[in-house]
Amino acid sequence: MLGVIALCVAFGLLALLLSLSRWLARRPWAAAGNLAVAVVLLLVAHVLWPPVLHLQTYESLRPRALVAQVHCERTGPSAYRVTLTRLPAGHMQVFEMSGDEWRLDVRTLVWTGQAAQLGLPDSYRLDRLSGRYLRTELAAEVTPAPAAARAAEPAPTLLVPASYALSDVEEAGEDIWAQARTDSGWKDYVDARHAYGPWRPLADGARYDVAMTRAPGQAEAVLEARPANEAAAKAMRYTGGDSIRTKG
């Protein structure tokens, strides 16, 4: 799509130069025609630029591929350093998290109708990394001590599970995904969904592979997080369903 915009701008500028040359040659009607072509091409580039700029933050949605790898390192009681590696780019982000489990959420864009006929690629973007506790903090469950004892002892520090947005809130461009989930014109051209990944244990040394699968011709995708080493396999409590489908 960036190539289309570049061509529109290049031919628009060329049409402007031709319009100027026709005007200098005292050919007003030819100059007006070239000027009209230039205005149309530059207007198309102007309209396409915001959504195309936003789509550059998405990755192509393939039928089955790894989208991320998550590695956990314990830094304290219920505290972890979580390294998220985006695949296939290999870009790494490090987060300080607390809790017992983590989850990765993803946005998906599946083009429909005329947009699909134009060959626009379906895409996804990592949206949020979240943590949670499986049980209430021990400090909150302990029976309150006498007032004198409470005054003598410092209050325990409660760790709050973190939730990190994986994209820039102030990023440039037009947010097609958010608009497609409302009553905007994009709703007729793209199916915007949100995939909530399965919760996985936070454990020292655990490494997980996150993959997304989608059947051909289907908008619904499945987000999986599988153990990639022995530490992750030991930490996981085996369940029958370890994948979550996208939510409309």
pLDDT in tens, 70-86: 999 999 988 999 999 99
Q: What percentage of residues in the chain have a pLDDT greater than 70?
A: 81
Q: Are residues 114 and 46 in the same domain?
A: no
* Amino acid of residue 248: G
Q: Which helix (H) or strand (E) holds 73?
A: strand 64-76
For residues 170 and 10, which has the higher predicted lDDT (pLDDT)?
A: 10
pLDDT score of 144 = 45
Range of the domain at 41: 2-55
Q: Are residues 32 and 77 in the same domain?
A: no
List Cα–Cα distances, 63 to 9, 23, 168, 219, in angstroms. Answer: 34, 54, 27, 11
For residues 166 and 142, which has the higher predicted lDDT (pLDDT)?
A: 166
pLDDT score of 139 = 37
Task: Indicate the residue among 33, 55, 77 that finishes a domain.
Answer: 55
List Cα–Cα distances, 82 to 2, 70, 103, 184, 204, in angstroms. Answer: 34, 7, 11, 37, 10
Task: Indicate the residue among 30, 55, 80 that finishes a domain.
Answer: 55
Task: Indicate the residue among 55, 75, 96 that finishes a domain.
Answer: 55
Q: 56-66: string of b/e by CB count within 10 Å (b at 16+)?
A: ebbbebeeeeb
The answer to whether residue 151 sits within a structural domain is: no
Q: Are residues 166 and 204 in the same domain?
A: yes
pLDDT band at 7 (very low <50, low <70, confident <90, very high): confident
For residues 129 and 88, which has the higher predicted lDDT (pLDDT)?
A: 129
Could you give the number of structural domains in the chain?
2
Res. 160: pLDDT tops 80 = no
Res. 124: pLDDT tops 60 = yes
Q: Are residues 102 and 213 in the same domain?
A: yes
Q: What is the mean pLDDT of the chain?
A: 81
pLDDT score of 170 = 63
* Structural tokens at position 203: 């454990």
Q: Are residues 7 and 122 in the same domain?
A: no
pLDDT band at 242 (very low <50, low <70, confident <90, very high): low
Res. 147: pLDDT tops 90 = no
For residues 237 and 68, which has the higher predicted lDDT (pLDDT)?
A: 68
Where is average pLDDT lowest: 118-132, 165-179, 204-218?
Answer: 165-179
Res. 238: pLDDT tops 50 = no
Res. 127: pLDDT tops 50 = yes
* Amino acid of residue 222: V
Tens of pLDDT, residue by residue over 166-202, are 976 666 678 888 888 886 778 888 999 998 999 999 9
List Cα–Cα distances, 97 to 162, 209, 213, in angstroms. Answer: 6, 18, 27
Residue range 113-133: mean pLDDT, rounded:
89
Tens of pLDDT, residue by residue over 28-73, are 898 888 889 888 888 888 777 888 888 888 898 887 889 999 999 9
Question: In sequence order, what are the residues at sequence separation of 6 or more whose Cβ sits closer than 8 angstroms to the Cβ of residue 29?
Answer: none
Q: Which helix (H) or strand (E) holds 69?
A: strand 64-76
Whole-model pTM: value is 0.75
